[in-house]
Amino acid sequence: MNFQAGKDTLKRKFDTVGTRTPRPDGLDKVTGRAQFGADLTAPGMLWGMILRSPHAHARIKSIDTSKAEAVNGVHAVVTSRDFGPCPDDVLDIRENVMARGKVLYDGHAVAAVAATSRSAARQALKLIKVDYKVLPHVTDVDEAMKPSAPILNRKLFTKGLDKTPRKPSNIAERFEFGHGDVEAGMKQADLVIERTFKTEATHQGYIEPNACLANMGSDGRADLWCCTQGHFMVRQVCSALLGMDASALRVTASEIGGGFGGKTTVFVEPVALALSLKASRPVKIVMSRSEVLRASGPTSSTSIDVRIGMKKDGTITAGDATLRYQGGAFPGSAVPYGAMAAFACYDLKAVRAVGYDVIANRPKQAAYRAPGAPMAAYAVESVVDELCKELNLDPLDVRLKNASSDGSKASYGPNFDVIGLRATLEAAKAHPHYKARLKPNQGRGVACGFWFNFGGETSVSLNVSADGTIGLSVGTPDIGGSRASIGNMAAEELGVPHDKVRCIIADTASLGYNDVTDGSRVTFASGLAAINAARDAIGKMCERAAGIWGIPVDAVTWEDGAARPSSPNAGNHEPLTLADIAAQAGATGGPISGHCEINAEGAGVSFATHLVDTEVDPDTGYVKILRYTVFQDAGKAIHPSYVEGQFQGGAVQGIGWALNEEYIYGEDGKLQNPGFLDYRIPVASDLPMIDAVIVEVPNPGHPYGVRGVGETSIVPPLAAISNSVSSAAGVRMTQLPMSPPRLLKALGRI
């Protein structure tokens, strides 16, 4: 069967797809019954807690756990000694979950205990004696790159240079993307603007702290329950860290209370397993909010130079960017993605983006929604905006003039397939928001954003029950309603009502491997796999019908939920519905299931255009978001409500990043705001309604045209808001967040 879409598939009329059906996990979630990471208990369970470094950078001279072990109720204490050798690709994770020899950031784990009560565990933590030799530290990206900076890792030599340097440095790697002659392009410009931008680190800010329940026996088998974006990833990493067979560890994904990329790695899970092994009891670990902020992955802080040349008519002649991202104490920041995405919205003859991956004394960064792209888009879209202002050009017209379109060569290499950037720009231009009048101290900002989207390894199993209902098992944790959209695609393909399909997230023992819920891949890839599994089951049901009718299988077709003779020549048979065939399954050959195991190709890239109006209070520096409209290409919106939800949620996270949120480090290298009071994410009273306009330019790589929608929505807001505020304040802002003190300073008020 052909799994790629034909043109007619994309135009087909849908029954279930595109409707706003109730979600399968809805009732549990409004009644408090849904079980999240911290909600499960096991008989004999112990409470695990983690001791964390109070220093940004220090050598661990010794750890004495004897007093902690003697506390009544304590059953296990672990340190790095309890994590043995492991494969190279998880070495950094091993060091991040339990410091070895050195602590590299404030909050780095150094030891853990498991006890019968939380109070006993807390008491034990206080009795662990760690002897530190404090070392000089560095937390700022530009400082960390200086030759004089304290070096975190003497074995780190910059990769990606023509010659490998002889001295270690905090620069882990250099990347470069682009094509054409940038300098020649700049010479053709009527105006070249160059600016430097800085953005602070932000946290994904999921409301559910990381949590898990581990149960490991002395036979080396274990069950692990945790809130994660990828339980197969958890199985892989944890079994490698603990030296177990992968299949000896069964991981079940709990309901997940937000992740946004932050739960694509492990923090407490291997520690809970090690404690459980040592104590021979189940162990639960739940991070506190301050642990989440100090020790789970935030995004990078960045420093970015951008230079763009433009002709008087708005043609961009060349783009050039240098991006420096610190990704915490280990290599692996999202700077390559940032560099690749920086100019992706523009069809340029000459473009270059250079990225530096830098380490510093901060928690190891984790993915955060379109990792690396929002900061890059912020810098590029700010300069484009300034050029438009200087040359007196309309910012949407200039973007339409230079926009990437079908077939154009992307700044990061490949040629685009069918894309929807232009459609989002045209939708923005036609929207009443763009023509609405502004008052004094108000400004309007425009920006575009791009994200790659991803397919990846996916395994789905679809079981037809004897009563004609469907059990659909997928292996990608549902982070925002994906069970509804995947179930609806299976229902659509089978031709049954949506409520006859129950979609669940199966554990790691019950399905083949699935990549993490990331890269906006789930509705695309698990959806594709569910459609394929449905087609597999349909093929089998057609065989059963053929058997019942005594005709060849190729004389049977599937239409509207029933097997039918494909032509009058095939005989006069009443259609057999899915339920009819299911009821006879036992007599016609046994259970009917459909499967799909793929590495999904064909994810369609995604673009968005955001419009935002803000008002700046020149006396206080307070910025009010007056109006916000998102225009994004969804390919095909399977469940429009949850597509809108992704648009709105991403925009608001971007608003937080642009205006309030930042990791604030003191001179001592300690995080000064590890709580929701001081790390302030947007609240309901900060915001207007967020208008979401769904643009649909079908992705040719998916049978229904789906593109991932989860991430692109956070790419434009930083720039759109900065452009809006700069226009309202009459001064170009080049640093995020635009908190009141920073804005007052830019206005010359303080």
Smallest separation (angstroms) from another protein to the CB of 256 = 6
Q: Which of residues 310-329 bind ligand FES (CB under 6 A)?
A: none
Q: Which of residues 485-544 bind ligand FES (CB under 6 A)?
A: none
Smallest separation (angstroms) from another protein to the CB of 4 = 30
Q: Which does 687 bind (CB under 5 to 8 A by kind): another protein, ligand FES, none?
A: another protein
Distance CA 373, CA 366 (A): 14
In terms of CB distance, is 258 or 495 closer to ligand FES? 258
Q: In this structure, are residues 54 and 669 in contact, taking their beta carbons and an 8 Å threshold?
A: no
Smallest separation (angstroms) from ligand FES to the CB of 228 = 15
Q: What share of residues in the chain are helix, strand, coil (percent, to 5)? A: 30, 25, 45
Q: Which does 594 bind (CB under 5 to 8 A by kind): ligand FES, another protein, none?
A: none
Q: Which does 648 bind (CB under 5 to 8 A by kind): ligand FES, another protein, none?
A: another protein
In terms of CB distance, is 251 or 651 closer to another protein? 651
Distance CA 427, CA 423 (A): 6
Smallest separation (angstroms) from another protein to the CB of 423 = 23
Residue of 258, 539, 547, 618 that binds ligand FES (CB under 6 A): 258
Coil, helix or strand for 15? coil
Report phi then psi at 666, rounded to 5.
-85, 175
Smallest separation (angstroms) from another protein to the CB of 205 = 5
In terms of CB distance, is 1 or 677 closer to ligand FES? 677
Report phi then psi at 629, rounded to 5.
-130, 130
Question: Cα torsion at 718, 479, 333, 296 (round to 10°)?
Answer: 100
Smallest separation (angstroms) from ligand FES to the CB of 363 = 21
Q: Which does 27 bind (CB under 5 to 8 A by kind): ligand FES, another protein, none?
A: another protein
Smallest separation (angstroms) from ligand FES to the CB of 674 = 14
In terms of CB distance, is 191 or 681 closer to ligand FES? 681
Smallest separation (angstroms) from ligand FES to the CB of 52 = 20
State the greatest distance between any 2 C-alpha atoms of the chain, in Å, as a whole number. 87
Smallest separation (angstroms) from ligand FES to the CB of 669 = 27
The CA–CA distances, whole Å, from 243 to 276, 374, 466, 707 equal: 15, 38, 42, 38
- Tokens representing 559? 């239409």
Distance CA 529, CA 706 (A): 13
In terms of CB distance, is 31 or 572 closer to another protein? 31
Q: Which does 270 bind (CB under 5 to 8 A by kind): another protein, ligand FES, none?
A: none
Amino acid present at 184? A
In terms of CB distance, is 236 or 485 closer to another protein? 485
Smallest separation (angstroms) from ligand FES to the CB of 41 = 19
In terms of CB distance, is 588 or 673 closer to another protein? 673
Element (H, E) at 421: helix 421-430
Distance CA 138, CA 169 (A): 12
Distance CA 484, CA 420 (A): 25
Q: Which does 39 bind (CB under 5 to 8 A by kind): another protein, ligand FES, none?
A: another protein
Q: In this structure, are residues 327 and 258 in contact, taking their beta carbons and an 8 Å threshold?
A: no
Distance CA 625, CA 731 (A): 18
Distance CA 426, CA 405 (A): 13
Q: Which does 66 bind (CB under 5 to 8 A by kind): another protein, ligand FES, none?
A: none
Residue 193: strand pairing partners: 308
Name, in order, each residue with C-beta under 8 angstroms of 488's C-beta and a sequence gap of 6 or more.
16, 17, 19, 21, 498, 501, 638, 639
In terms of CB distance, is 207 or 466 closer to ligand FES? 207
Report phi then psi at 706, rounded to 5.
-65, 135
Among 715, 711, 705, 694, which Cα is nearest to 7's?
Answer: 705
Q: Which does 507 bind (CB under 5 to 8 A by kind): another protein, ligand FES, none?
A: none
Total residues at interface with ligand FES (CB under 6 A) = 2
| 683 near ligand FES, judged by CB under 6 A | no
Smallest separation (angstroms) from another protein to the CB of 34 = 6
| 700 near ligand FES, judged by CB under 6 A | no
Among 193, 199, 197, 198, which Cα is nearest to 383's?
Answer: 193
The CA–CA distances, whole Å, from 337 to 267, 407, 522, 649 equal: 23, 21, 20, 21
In terms of CB distance, is 217 or 675 closer to ligand FES? 675
- According to DSSP, the β-strands at 171-179 and 351-358 are antiparallel
Q: Which does 101 bind (CB under 5 to 8 A by kind): another protein, ligand FES, none?
A: none
* DSSP tag of 522: I
Q: Which does 677 bind (CB under 5 to 8 A by kind): another protein, ligand FES, none?
A: another protein
Residue indicated by tokens 């299976």: 490
In terms of CB distance, is 1 or 30 closer to ligand FES? 30
Residues contributing to the site for another protein (CB under 8 A): 20, 22-23, 25-27, 29-36, 38-39, 41, 117-119, 204-209, 255-260, 286, 288-289, 479-481, 641-642, 644-645, 648-649, 651-653, 675-677, 681-687, 689-690, 692
Smallest separation (angstroms) from ligand FES to the CB of 711 = 16
The CA–CA distances, whole Å, from 22 to 183, 484, 498, 520 equal: 55, 7, 9, 22
In terms of CB distance, is 567 or 685 closer to another protein? 685
Smallest separation (angstroms) from another protein to the CB of 32 = 2
In terms of CB distance, is 26 or 258 closer to ligand FES? 258
In terms of CB distance, is 404 or 713 closer to another protein? 713
- According to DSSP, the β-strands at 623-633 and 576-577 are unpaired
In terms of CB distance, is 289 or 349 closer to ligand FES? 289
Q: Which does 681 bind (CB under 5 to 8 A by kind): ligand FES, another protein, none?
A: another protein
Q: Which does 11 bind (CB under 5 to 8 A by kind): another protein, ligand FES, none?
A: none
Distance CA 82, CA 244 (A): 14
Q: Which does 1 bind (CB under 5 to 8 A by kind): ligand FES, another protein, none?
A: none
Smallest separation (angstroms) from ligand FES to the CB of 281 = 27
| 207 near ligand FES, judged by CB under 6 A | yes
Distance CA 328, CA 144 (A): 11
Amino acid present at 147? P
Strands (E), 617-735: 623-633, 690-695
Distance CA 386, CA 197 (A): 13
In terms of CB distance, is 557 or 641 closer to ligand FES? 641
In terms of CB distance, is 26 or 332 closer to another protein? 26
Where does 43-161 have alpha helices with state H?
A: 66-69, 91-97, 118-127, 141-145
Residue indicated by tokens 């399909």: 501
Smallest separation (angstroms) from another protein to the CB of 738 = 19
Q: In this structure, are residues 642 and 484 in contact, taking their beta carbons and an 8 Å threshold?
A: yes
Smallest separation (angstroms) from another protein to the CB of 74 = 14
* DSSP tag of 499: G
Question: Which residues of the chain form contacts with ligand FES (CB under 6 A)?
Answer: 207, 258
